[in-house]
Structures are given as structure tokens and as C-alpha cells.
Amino acid sequence: SQTIHQWPATLVQPVGSPLSLECTVEGTSNPNLYWYRQAAGRGLQLLFYSVGIGQISSEVPQNLSASRPQDRQFILSSKKLLLSDSGFYLCAWRGQPSSEAFFGQGTRLTVV
């Protein structure tokens, strides 16, 4: 069966520090991969999605970047975190264009 792993679960980082969040999917090949951010009590904001290795689409210009070095690995990065980068970051995958999304457990990032 397919599983999605996302880590770490929580992270506290100082302003100006770098960020790297990793997401891996098992049990499927060539998934569509997504990074979302969710502010407290708010909806899902799509940050990046990828339909294949090295293919990244950015939905919102910001302080973050994403990479997909392997088929089932999706990484969210920042060179210098801002206070406004705090939030709940969720990785997700979809197998087919019409299929549902499966989410990782999420990373709760607090920038201090």
C-alpha cells in the first residue's frame, strides 16, 4: 500500500535560518507531489506542485523553493526564514489527475 512520510513533525527555527523539509512517498511511482501551507485556523494554500522529477510549479511567489531530486521525494527549502513563514506545512500526493490527495502528517513550523 502507499504511504507518505513527512518530517519533522515540529520545528522551531530562528529568523534568517535555512529550512529543509522532506517528504517521501512509498508504494507508487510517478506521483504528483504537492506542498501546502496552512495558517492557524485557515485553509490550504498551495505552494508548489510537481508532476515529475525536476519539474516544479510555483503557485505563490515567496521566500520558499521546492525540489524533486527523485521520483518519490519532494523537498521544501528556504535560505532565510521569515516570521511569516510560520505555519503548518503539508505534503501530499495524487496518483492520477482525477484521484484524491493523500497527505503526510504535516510539519508545524514556528519561526522565532
- Nearest to other proteins of 14, 43 (CB atom): 43
CB of 37 to other proteins, least distance (A): 12
Q: What are phi and psi of 85, to 5 degrees?
A: -80, -5
Residues that bind other proteins (CB under 8 A): 41-44, 46, 49, 90, 94, 97-98, 100-106
For the chain, percent helix, then strand, then coil, each to nearest 5? 5, 55, 40
Q: Residue 11 or residue 44: which is nearer to other proteins going by CB? A: 44
Minimum gap (Å) between residue 16 Cβ and other proteins: 28
Of 10, 5, 6, 8, the C-alpha closest to 109 is 10
